[in-house]
């Protein structure tokens, strides 16, 4: 097993294997069943309790019977099996297989070791089997279950598949489809979330901690980590491990972790890289389940380091250990019931409700200190380092469920699984804001492309911007901006709208603030007549009461208090920015106190930001325990933070979006076209193949004929009738117009033949001899747009829309999203373009059918989601008419791709 009858498509899947996380946070390795697994399977069957054997086989099999059953299951025809292995010896702890009943149905069965039952392994194996079976044309799974086997029925129901159960004498017959429903995927994501939470509880809520490499020398990393654990007040025992010391900071030291008398949940490893594997193996023997490896010298150092990191992961996987790092600076949990500071940072920020993760260890130190200086409270902190195991996706799931965390901050240098990040962030962001600073906006990672779309999005990180925008993630450009928006999100309510009220004692800063607000999509509306009248009642004649409200330099603190109450209760205002420029008479502390006193007088919950234009720290009154008001050094800084919070709130208020679906798509026919083309190898599809593929997805390619020579071109023109366009088939020519490969407004067969002969000579002289021609009906006039796709190796298909035709790379006006697109995504893409007014009747032009362009984007998205072999696609120009749209030219490049990982496999 697998048998020789398994198709090529399934063979692509069965090569996939990997580690999966169980419900309790531990891991096992799942791979394809092999003939050599017979002994391991027999040992699994033999290890079952009598009850488990009876439920599995309807009887109590003896040793000979179990051996025969193992031999039978390994050698079944028309079948496929998976095994789950644990430990360095790859002990088989789970087995699942399906055996075909006919072309579309298969019987499914599995066995789970007693100690692994109830940990979600059965559900994982079932879902992975279903994926492989569906790929091989099996549409339905069936199983006969002993009526008393409630555990088995629970596994089927917990999978999320819609099962049907019928009763027979003493047994139940279960039937369900192998295709994944939305509910099944949600169930699996819920299972993954539970596994991530339980895994991270091992780190954040340990009962006992050991520091391996603890040092008596303060200033050494091992010394600082141990000191921080003690001084911060960790609630459990902390064991120093150092073979050269009898005690450290008056705590008895141990020569090895195995010498510690009590259990240890978390080990922090601070030893030279060459000794980490040995230490990890000792932790495995001690039954430690969580490691934080601070030591450097792993994948960040090159080939040797990568090999060392792989060996470390092998030790951890074999023992079911979870790992943070290596090459990190540690973790912290400020919960009073835990008080864990397993870092070597000089200080821990005050307790708060912000979860923070940094991929950079050195930067993490500076960030911790900076957060502390701002008074930004942290719930938990993680330096993930090389992310060999625990990743940002795991942390998002943990913080989603963590009652101590309201805001999530991330410093990212790379993504492990961007698609999964997007899925998780979309869900988490509905409950808690996620703010990210992502390094790498430069052109260093530009990919080589040969299409208009590729040229537009190469050498940039627009894909990252698209991911964050669609997932509702707040992206900042700098760490300072990250903390600016974090101070607002963690201390003030979200704004209900974009309208800002500005209060100041100096006109210049208020103008800068208003300009910054409007430049970022916020509004500075005129206050109501009632508010202006109330302001005039106490402000001097020289004050301005429109908005911004300029109370002039002599304004005392009491004027701030009154103005905040009035402007804050104005129905035209959703948020407030209060600016103070220190004059000679009014003290900043008094203004700070006035702001704090005024905030509760605002009837509706509205965010308030303060700006103190001074080199001195903001007044202490703003950081009180009951009310914390974020303060900024410059008005533009406050406006930028508020704009980001407002955009996030607007995203959160939108209803959840789902990929558009079309009933008229011929997906199987499209897949067959691509499969046939790939028999020639990777590369650009022929025009007839492009036309067939677009037709399968209902994309409006103009009427055309594909021909091989000038004579056939003339005949095709006569068949079409009227004016036609002639285009050479030359895949290596990107800019056809400049190369002389396009002729327009030709009438009659003779004119087309003559143009084709001339075009062939010109292109041949330039080394681009055409292999044929395309003759197209001339299109109606319209707005020329571009719809294209580039398949990013990390992010998957990236859809671009922008100004098309010959101006595409001149204007570089492009909007980008990741697939799959929703109706809302398509609409936002188009309306974000600078050239969008051209579609809406700019300067008296005809209003174009924007809905037709939206539909084109959605159909292209569906196509590239279904066919991952599409590496590049250009529909340029995609002409949008007053009614409908037409694609005048299209190019599609295909390539072979590796199959996606099976459900649950960590990549």
| In the predicted structure, residue 325 carries a pLDDT above the cut 80 | yes
Please write the tens of the pLDDT for every residue from 334-363.
999 999 999 998 877 788 999 999 987 667
**Residue located via tokens 């003493």:** 170
Q: Is 639 exposed, middle or buried (0-12, 13-18, 19+ CB in 10 A)?
A: buried
pLDDT at 10: 39
Please tell me the least confidently modeled range out of 22-31, 318-327, 413-422. 413-422
* Cα 172 to Cα 95, 105, 199, 553, distances in angstroms: 21, 17, 36, 83
% pLDDT > 90, the chain: 61
Reduced to 3 states, what is the DSSP secondary structure of residue 604? coil
Rounded to 5°, angle at Cα 905 from 902 and 907: 110
| In the predicted structure, residue 904 carries a pLDDT above the cut 70 | no
Please write the tens of the pLDDT for every residue from 749-804.
999 999 999 998 888 888 888 889 999 999 888 999 999 999 888 888 999 999 88
SS (H, E, C) 728-780: EECCCCCCHHHHCCEEEEEECHHHHHHHHHHHHHHHHHCCCCCCEEEEEECCC
| In the predicted structure, residue 619 carries a pLDDT above the cut 60 | yes
pLDDT at 734: 66
Rounded to 5°, angle at Cα 536 from 532 and 539: 130
Q: What is the mean pLDDT of residues 466-491?
A: 92
| In the predicted structure, residue 59 carries a pLDDT above the cut 70 | no
Residues 6+ apart with CB under 8 A from 642: 488, 495, 500, 517, 522, 575, 577, 607, 609
pLDDT at 151: 73
Please write the tens of the pLDDT for every residue from 553-607.
999 999 999 999 999 999 999 999 999 999 778 999 999 999 999 999 998 999 9
Residue 810's pLDDT band, with cuts at 50, 70 and 90, is: low
Output 60 or 551, whichever has higher pLDDT. Answer: 551
The sign of the CA dihedral 856, 858, 859, 863 is positive
Q: What is the mean pLDDT of residues 482-504?
A: 95
Cβ atoms < 10 Å from Cβ of 870: 24
Cβ atoms < 10 Å from Cβ of 653: 10
Closest CA to 408 of 386, 392, 422: 392
Q: Are 400 and 432 in contact (CB under 8 A)?
A: yes
SS (H, E, C) 94-159: EEEEEEECCCCEEEEEEEECHHHCCCCHHHHHHHHHHHHHHHCCCCEEEEEEECCCHHHHHHHHHC
Please write the tens of the pLDDT for every residue from 219-234.
999 999 999 999 999 9
DSSP run (H or E) holding 418: helix 418-429
Residue 449's pLDDT band, with cuts at 50, 70 and 90, is: very low
Residue 168's pLDDT band, with cuts at 50, 70 and 90, is: low
Q: What is the mean pLDDT of residues 281-293?
A: 96
Residue 443's pLDDT band, with cuts at 50, 70 and 90, is: very low
Closest CA to 816 of 487, 468, 528, 517: 468
- Distance from C-alpha of 822 to C-alpha of 422, rounded to nearest angstrom: 14
DSSP run (H or E) holding 876: strand 870-880
pLDDT at 201: 96
Closest CA to 628 of 436, 480, 503, 489: 489
**DSSP letter, residue 449:** -
pLDDT at 668: 83
| In the predicted structure, residue 525 carries a pLDDT above the cut 90 | yes
**Residue located via tokens 């450009």:** 477
Q: What is the mean pLDDT of residues 18-33?
A: 88
Q: What is the mean pLDDT of residues 844-862?
A: 94
Q: Are 543 and 567 in contact (CB under 8 A)?
A: no
- Distance from C-alpha of 687 to C-alpha of 701, rounded to nearest angstrom: 11
Beta strands (DSSP E) in 793-860 are 796-803, 814-818
State the first-to-last Cα distance of the chain, in angstroms, to the nearest integer.
25
Residue 1's pLDDT band, with cuts at 50, 70 and 90, is: very low
| In the predicted structure, residue 518 carries a pLDDT above the cut 90 | yes
pLDDT at 245: 95
Output 485 or 480, whichever has higher pLDDT. Answer: 485
Residue 732's pLDDT band, with cuts at 50, 70 and 90, is: confident
pLDDT at 7: 37
pLDDT at 808: 56
pLDDT at 751: 94
pLDDT at 85: 92
């Amino acid at each position: 097993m697998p048998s020789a009858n398994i198709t090529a498509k399934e063979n692509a899947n069965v090569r996939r294997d990997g580690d999966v996380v169980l419900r309790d946070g531990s891991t096992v390795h799942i791979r394809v069943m092999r003939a050599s697994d017979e002994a391991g399977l027999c040992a699994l069957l033999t290890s079952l309790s009598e009850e488990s054997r009876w439920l599995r086989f309807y009887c109590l099999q003896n040793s000979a019977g179990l051996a025969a059953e193992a031999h039978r299951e390994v050698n079944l025809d028309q079948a496929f099996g998976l095994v789950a292995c644990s430990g360095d010896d790859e002990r088989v702890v789970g087995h699942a297989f399906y055996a075909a009943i006919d072309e579309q149905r298969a019987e499914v069965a599995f066995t789970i070791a007693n100690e692994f039952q109830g940990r979600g392994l059965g559900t994982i194996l079932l879902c992975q089997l279903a994926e492989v079976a569906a790929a091989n044309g099996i549409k339905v799974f069936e199983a006969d279950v002993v009526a008393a086997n409630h555990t088995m029925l629970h596994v089927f129901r917990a999978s999320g598949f819609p099962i049907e159960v019928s009763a027979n004498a003493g047994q139940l017959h279960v039937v369900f489809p192998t295709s994944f429903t939305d509910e099944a995927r949600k169930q699996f994501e819920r299972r993954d979330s539970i596994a991530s939470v339980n895994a991270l509880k091992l780190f954040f809520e340990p009962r006992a901690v050991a520091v391996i490499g603890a040092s008596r020398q303060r200033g050494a990393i091992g010394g600082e980590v141990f000191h921080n654990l003690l001084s911060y007040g960790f609630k459990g025992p902390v064991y120093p491990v150092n073979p050269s010391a009898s005690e450290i900071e008056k705590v008895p030291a141990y020569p090895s972790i195995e010498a510690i008398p009590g259990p240890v949940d978390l080990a922090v490893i601070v030893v030279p890289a060459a000794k980490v594997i040995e230490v990890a193996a000792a932790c495995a023997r001690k039954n430690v389940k969580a490691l934080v490896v601070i030591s450097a010298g792993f994948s960040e150092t090159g080939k040797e380091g990568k090999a060392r990191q792989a060996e470390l992961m092998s030790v951890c996987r074999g023992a079911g250990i979870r790992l943070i790092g290596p090459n990190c600076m540690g973790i912290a949990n400020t919960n009073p019931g835990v008080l864990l500071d397993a870092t070597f940072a000089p200080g821990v920020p005050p307790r708060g409700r912000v979860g923070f993760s940094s991929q950079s260890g050195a930067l993490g130190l500076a960030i911790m200190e900076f957060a502390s200086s701002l008074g930004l409270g942290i719930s938990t902190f993680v330096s993930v380092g090389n992310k060999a195991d625990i990743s940002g996706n795991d942390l998002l799931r943990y913080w989603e469920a963590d009652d101590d965390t309201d805001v999530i901050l991330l410093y990212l240098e790379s993504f492990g699984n961007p698609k999964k990040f997007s899925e998780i962030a979309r869900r988490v962001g509905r409950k808690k804001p996620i703010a990210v600073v992502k390094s790498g906006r430069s052109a260093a990672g530009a990919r080589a492309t040969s299409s208009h779309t590729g040229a537009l999005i190469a050498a940039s990180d627009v894909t990252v911007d698209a991911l964050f925008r669609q997932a509702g993630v707040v992206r900042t450009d700098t760490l300072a901006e990250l903390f600016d928006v974090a101070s607002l999100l963690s201390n003030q309510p979200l704004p209900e709208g974009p309208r800002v009220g500005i209060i100041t004692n100096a006109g210049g800063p208020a103008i800068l603030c208003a300009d910054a607000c409007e430049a970022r999509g916020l509004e500075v509306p005129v206050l109501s007549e009632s508010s202006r009248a109330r302001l005039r009642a106490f402000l001097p004649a020289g004050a301005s009461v429109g908005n911004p409200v300029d109370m002039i330099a002599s304004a005392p603190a009491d004027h701030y208090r009154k103005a905040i109450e009035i402007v804050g209760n104005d129905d035209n205002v959703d948020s407030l920015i209060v600016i103070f420029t220190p004059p000679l008479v009014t003290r900043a502390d008094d203004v700070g106190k006035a702001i704090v006193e005024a905030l509760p007088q605002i009837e509706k919950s509205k965010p308030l930001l303060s700006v103190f234009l001074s080199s001195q720290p903001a007044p202490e009154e703003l950081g009180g325990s009951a009310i914390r008001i974020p303060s900024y050094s410059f008005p533009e800084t406050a406006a930028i933070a508020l704009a980001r919070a407002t955009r996030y709130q607007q995203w959160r208020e939108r209803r959840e979006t789902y990929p558009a679906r079309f009933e008229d798509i011929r997906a199987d026919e499209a897949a067959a076209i691509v499969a046939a083309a790939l028999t020639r190898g990777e590369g650009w599809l022929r025009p007839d193949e492009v036309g067939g593929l677009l037709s399968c997805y209902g994309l409006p390619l103009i009427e055309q004929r594909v021909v091989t020579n000038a004579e056939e071109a003339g005949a095709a023109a006569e068949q079409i009738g009227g004016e036609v366009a002639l285009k050479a088939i030359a895949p290596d020519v990107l800019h056809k117009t400049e190369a002389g490969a396009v002729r327009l407004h030709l009438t009659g067969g003779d004119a087309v033949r003559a143009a084709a002969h001339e075009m062939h000579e010109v292109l041949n002289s330039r080394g681009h001899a055409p292999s044929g021609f395309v003759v197209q009906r001339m299109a109606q006039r319209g707005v020329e747009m571009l719809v294209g796709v580039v398949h990013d190796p990390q992010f998957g298909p990236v859809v671009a829309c922008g100004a098309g035709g010959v101006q595409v790379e001149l204007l570089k006006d492009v909007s980008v999203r990741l697939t799959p697109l929703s109706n809302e995504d398509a609409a936002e893409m188009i309306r974000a373009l600078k050239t969008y007014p051209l579609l809406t009747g700019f300067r008296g032009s005809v209003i174009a059918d924007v809905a037709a362009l939206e539909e084109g984007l959605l159909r292209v998205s569906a196509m590239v989601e279904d066919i991952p072999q599409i590496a590049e696609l250009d529909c340029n120009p995609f002409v949008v008419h007053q009614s409908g749209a037409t694609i005048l030219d299209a190019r599609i490049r295909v390539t072979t791709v590796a199959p996606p990982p099976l459900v649950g496999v960590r990549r």
